Amino acid sequence: MVLWYNTIDIATLNAYTFFTAQHPAFKSGITNARRLFLKERSKELVTLHMRSRGEGCPQLQTPIIEAMERCGVTKATTQPQERSRQGQPKRKRCQICPSDKDRKVNNRCGKCNVPVCNDYSQKQVVCLNCIQ
């Protein structure tokens, strides 16, 4: 564990050295400039992670969302995803299969709108010229 922290310390010292070489006016008169540099970089990394987590996870717990808002990161709204779920039909059991198979399907018959599985339905292939 000590070796890991020593490696992290050396890496951050190298990053600070490169940064001050490119930006010599960065907090030049302050004695704890390295600590402030590390604090700013860590906030950037954490903020980036929190944004990606807020966008990637549709159902975050309320305490996590509140903590993210205290840090200045707002969670992206999930309304478009909820709307797309409402538009999808609910899966139902195939009406032709025996009940012991319990096949749930999204496909429906084009004429009578009865749910049917792939075993009891046919797919039609039509070229673009015939569709028009």
The overall pTM is greater than 0.75: no
Note down the domain range covering 100: 94-132
56 and 110 housed in the same domain: no
CB 45 within 8 A of CB 56: no
d(CA 82, CA 76): 13
What tokens appear for 49 in the block?
């992670």
d(CA 74, CA 51): 8
77 and 105 housed in the same domain: no
* Residue 89 included in any domain: no
What does the buried/exposed string (b/e) look like for 21-60 if buried means 16 or more CB atoms within 10 Å of the residue's CB?
eeeeeeeeeeeeebeebbeeeeeeeeeeebeeebeeeeeb
Give the end of a domain, one of 65, 84, 103: 84
64 and 127 housed in the same domain: no
56-111 pLDDT tens trace: 777 888 888 888 888 888 766 555 555 455 666 688 888 888 888 888 888 888 77
51 and 103 housed in the same domain: no
Domain count, the chain: 2
DSSP state of 130: H
